[in-house]
A and B are shown apart, each in its own frame.
Chain A
Amino acid sequence: MADKKRILVACGTAIATSTVVARKIEEELGKRNIPVETTQCKAAEVPSKVAGHDLVVTTTFVSGTGDVPVIHSVSFLTGVGIEKDIEKIVEYLSQ
């Protein structure tokens, strides 16, 4: 893959959730040799931070993402359905 894709990971109140999710995404995409760069933020910060990202992954409700696609996922926390969500992420990133 040519250049590194940039993913904005947003969570609810505490920043710890997005740290966990970002770690999981990097780990899973790393296994598939897809280099990504993740940035973490709280849901409320999304509108001001979304610029320059290829995708937003969130565990909660977010708005103000403009043209950047959003994937809502809790699988990285629950451990259930990670494969499916990673497939979705890969699909968006390859567009």
Chain B
Amino acid sequence: MVENRKQRLSRLLNKVKVEQQVSIEELSDYFGVSTATIRRDIKELEKQQVVVQTVGGGVIYQMELTGAVGPHSAGQAIAEKIRIAEYCTELVRDHDDVLIGPGTTTFLAGKIMSGITDRQFRIITNSLELAVETSVAENIRTVILGGEVWHKHSVGPEAGYEYFRHCHHQHTLVLSADGVDRDQGITVFESQVVPTIQQMIEVSNRIILAVDARKFGRARFNRISEIDAVSVVVTDDSAPQDYVDFIRNHGIQVVLV
């Protein structure tokens, strides 16, 4: 019996979840249908925002939604992420304008910053959840970057167009990434966050890169910037020594927590 589309979609999703990354051709072989059919199925699953089709024809199961902490991302290196985020709060100076980039570690950094009581500063974010947290603190002014709400918890790709058009260029940016590579520089998985991050970089004169050690030597699809753009790297103490040396040789401070 030929299985109906609904059944195939469900099995297909399962297959992608198990494999994490798989090609259209492999899926076509596995399910005994044409690659065109698989492509249509993937498009359908993409509409439900559960898989991501990548440039080379590979399909990846989407585990992390950028912006807030999901059940999956929360479990990965969470102790390290919290340590890194905690250190970032020490870098906030009185009267800083702090931009919080997308990602789990930056979200945590922003959240922990909402507990700073001895300094006055601004937090500028596209995360709705974070803005609610920081807005309760009287010493912190919260700016939420405007635009359309995306994935229920943050403002989407066009976030803060108005803000960036008029703001000064002396922000402190807390930036996260999915990959930090010698040759490829700083990269992220989701293409949709690229415009926002690049805007943030453009208006910042101090960039704090908050990444756990797993990110070193990895390159994802979208390049954000060269490592040179960064002022400080905050990572955990299991960061590979050759990367620590490489970054320090670029005159960038590296903090191991």
Contacts and interface: CB of A to CB of B under 8 A. Distances in A.
Q: Do A and B bind each other?
A: yes
Main DSSP-derived SS at the B contact region: helix
Contacts of B86: 11-14, 16-17
Contact of A20 (B70, B71, B74, B115): B115
A11 B82 CA distance: 10
Contacts of A11: 86
A93 interface: no
Given A59-B82, A79-B129, A16 B112 contact: yes
Given A14-B86, A16-B112, A20-B133, 18 more contacts: A11-B86, A12-B82, A12-B86, A13-B257, A14-B90, A16-B117, A17-B82, A17-B86, A19-B114, A23-B115, A74-B82, A77-B108, A77-B111, A78-B108, A79-B69, A80-B70, A80-B71, A80-B74
B36 interface: no
25 contacts: A11-B86, A12-B83, A12-B86, A13-B86, A13-B257, A14-B86, A14-B87, A14-B89, A16-B89, A17-B82, A17-B89, A19-B116, A19-B117, A20-B112, A20-B115, A20-B133, A59-B82, A60-B82, A77-B82, A77-B85, A78-B69, A78-B78, A78-B108, A79-B129, A80-B71
Interface string B62-82: 000000111100100011001
A62 to B, nearest CB: 13
Contacts of B117: 16, 19
Contacts, number: 64
* B: contact size bracket: 20 to 34
Contacts of B33: none
Interface string A1-28: 0000000000111111111100100000
A13 B83 contact: yes
B77 to A, nearest CB: 12
A16 B116 contact: yes
Contacts of A77: 82, 85, 108, 111-112
A78 B109 CA distance: 11
Interface in A31-60: 59-60
A19 B86 CA distance: 12
A59 B112 CA distance: 12
Contacts of A15: 115
B111 to A, nearest CB: 6
A74 B108 CA distance: 10
A18 B117 CA distance: 12
A77 B74 CA distance: 10
- 9 closest A-B pairs by beta carbon, nearest first, are A19-B115, A16-B115, A20-B115, A78-B69, A78-B74, A80-B74, A16-B89, A14-B86, A16-B116
Contacts of B42: none
A23 B114 CA distance: 10
Contact of B114 (A12, A14, A20): A20
A48 B129 CA distance: 35
Contacts of A60: 79, 82-83
Contact of A17 (B70, B79, B112, B133): B112
A15 B89 CA distance: 10
Interface centre among A15, A16, A20, A77 (most CB of B within 10 A): A16
